[in-house]
Amino acid sequence: MKTRAKLPAPVRSLIALAFWVGIWWIISLIVGREVLIPSPPAVVKRLFELVQTADFHLSVLMSVLRITAGFAAAVAAGIVTGAVSAKIRAADALISPLMSVIKATPVASFIILALVWINKELIPVFISALMVIPVIHGNVKEGVLSADPQLLEMAYVFRFTKGQRLRRIYIPAVSPYLSAGAKTCLGLAWKAGVASEVLCFASNSIGSKLYSSKIYLETTDMFAWTVTVIIMSMIIEKLLTSLITLWQRKRKNDKNKRSEKAV
């Protein structure tokens, strides 16, 4: 029985993209008003015009810096709180309700409250971190709890130091959970960060450009900036995935080297 040759993943992705862009184009033709739904060629043309301006590069750079700073801070904080919660029940009893409240509260509520509490330029950092930390916290906690009890018992028998237990047992156990959480949270950080830029009108940001285009009914600009958000999110996610893959490969190589030395 002959099996059908499968198309490579990039080709399938391009076909899917072409399909949805075609749907978008058809809808724009049916509506027939650029102010409501601009056509794909008009958006691409406007995007290329924006890319050639210094204001575009500054806005993208500042948004990336703010959201990345929030994401990095949340990952660091989530690792600490997750590890502490997994090892200390009292800490878990205190931290878990807070994480549940953060997950349940709408992003808009936090943004409005943050406008009262902190400088508007720091709100995207704060909101991005707030959306990421519960996921990282939960994943790290699960990773620590999933550590093999037999390995932990062996570490106790052979009197491993805390550093050795961390390197040999806990980090390998947590790594898959942390990697999955980081990949999931990056999209959340971007959406929440840009949304906060829109509502707080942060200077030199993608969100402020989206808000301005909405106020002045520049729908083509709005679509062009939205496409920019999507592209930047994909690029940063790809970079993060590559870094995680390199780190995992390095750990695997180090483990193989240690095994060879032991033999």
**Which tens digits make up the pLDDT trace of 231-246?**
888 888 888 888 877 8
Determine the pLDDT at residue 194. 87
User: Residue 144 is encoded by which pair of tokens?
Assistant: 């620590």
What are the respective helix, strand and coil percentages of the chain, to the nearest 5?
85, 0, 15
Residue entry with tokens 């950080």: 189
User: Residue 24 is encoded by which pair of tokens?
Assistant: 């978008």
Q: Which amino acid is residue 114, in one-letter code?
A: A
Q: 13 versus 26: which is more confidently predicted? A: 26
To the nearest whole number, what is the mean pLDDT of the chain? 83
Domain ranges of the chain: 42-252
Query: What is the pTM for the complete model shown?
Result: 0.82
Neighbours of 258 (CB within 10 A): 11
Going from the C-alpha of 77 to that of each of 136, 137, 199, the distances in angstroms are: 9, 8, 26
Q: 149 versus 19: which is more confidently predicted? A: 19
The dihedral region occupied by 41, where left means phi > 0, alpha psi between -120 and 50, and beta the remainder, is: alpha
**Domain 42-252 is found in CATH 3.20.20.20:** no
Comparing 5-14, 46-55, 91-100, 237-246, the range with the smallest average pLDDT is: 5-14
Inter-residue contact 63 to 193 (CB < 8 Å): yes
Neighbours of 136 (CB within 10 A): 26
Q: 23 versus 4: which is more confidently predicted? A: 23
